[in-house]
Structure 1
């Protein structure tokens, strides 16, 4: 009987995991491809693949969609992000979970982000989906992506173009930085601190208008 050989994506779907998981299993010696094409592509024999053999010892890793905005004024944008992520994941046929944060892109201590990173480090995440890369962090998103690569987490960025809220959120992040440093320099209740902040807010409002 002729074997039915399939590519890595179809084999992954059959087992209910991601292609990156199959690559990791190959690296760990758990599942070696039956063949490789002249071009180096993996080929698997469906008759030999048995999901129960793997799921009994390896918990399936989840797909996480992450959404974030900087302020309460952007709650509508947060809902739009979540809707876009949910629709995309549903269309791919993925079972997924949405984690949403409301906080500055400069803040590394957001509850949702910490939960996401903990799950990635604990090998509970197999795929991360975001609308734009700066939804994770304003500065430091590349570090998160490096962790994902090390943990064999597939990263899906829906839009590689400029985020429409980038300038607005960047202005808010800059204001947050100046607020912290001016409070340390002059004292949070001093007139100098208040005068500086008022000037920065005015400049931000003019730049945004």
Structure 2
């Protein structure tokens, strides 16, 4: 069965940029093109190539790193679910992996875990990066991390890449992130007034997303 690049990547559980990189390096055979010039891939052929013990596409000496993040301490349950999901997925694939947990806003580029991840990527110490959703890396700028991965040859796996949110949901989360950051700076992250405002915004966000 011949499918387009995005569909082939989804079926194989890899990021489209990873499959694109394999095709550009002739590690994966292109099965044809659409009338518009988009590349087509044979799912059966790709699956057999990846399963082959002599194929070096996915057989890497470098470890897999799974990254989980939440914005605040009251989301610890969500962080736990992310970690469990990442552990289960990586274990099911038979990968040697490490989980990096982070706490902080998706707009904060100075988080301890994120800095560790970027440093390891730049040092070419990571063979594969696994995340549950794209925005677990950063609210704005995940593509920058993906570009680094592509540059150093690290595979990217987004487990729930097919779960797309609506425009209203994305906008609400982005506005909430921005207000939360500035509100914390103005009033102090432990301020009772700050907590009341953030809770009101969360309630409003829930109403929009219903």
Match of 2:148 in 1: 147
4+ residue runs over 6 A deviation: 40-43, 163-168, 196-199
CA RMSD of aligned residues (A): 4.2
Whether the 8 Å contact between 1:70 and 1:169 is mirrored in structure 2 is no
Question: 160-169 vs 76-85, which deviates more?
Answer: 160-169
* Structure 2 gaps, min length 5: 1-17, 33-44
1:170-209: per-residue Cα shift (whole Å, max 9, x none)? 454122343378x4xxxx69xxxx9x96995475144135
1:12-37: per-residue Cα shift (whole Å, max 9, x none)? xxxxxxx99xx6xxx7xxxx98xx97
* Structure 1 gaps, min length 5: 1-18, 52-58
Distance across 2 between alignment mates of 1:198 and 1:79: 23
Distance across 2 between alignment mates of 1:116 and 1:126: 12
Of the three residues 158, 161, 179, the one matched with 1:175 is 179
Greater gyration radius:
1
Cα 1:199–1:87 shift into 2, 3 Å: closer
TM-score scaled by length of structure 2: 0.61
Distance across 2 between alignment mates of 1:105 and 1:117: 15
What displacement does 1:72 show?
0.6
What displacement does 1:169 show?
5.2
Matched, 1:107 2:108: yes
Whether the 8 Å contact between 2:176 and 2:202 is mirrored in structure 1 is no
1:64-88: per-residue Cα shift (whole Å, max 9, x none)? 0100011111101101000111001
Match of 1:204 in 2: 201
Match of 2:7 in 1: none
TM-score scaled by length of structure 1: 0.61
1:98-126: per-residue Cα shift (whole Å, max 9, x none)? 00101110100110110001000001001
Instruction: Give the aligned length.
Output: 163
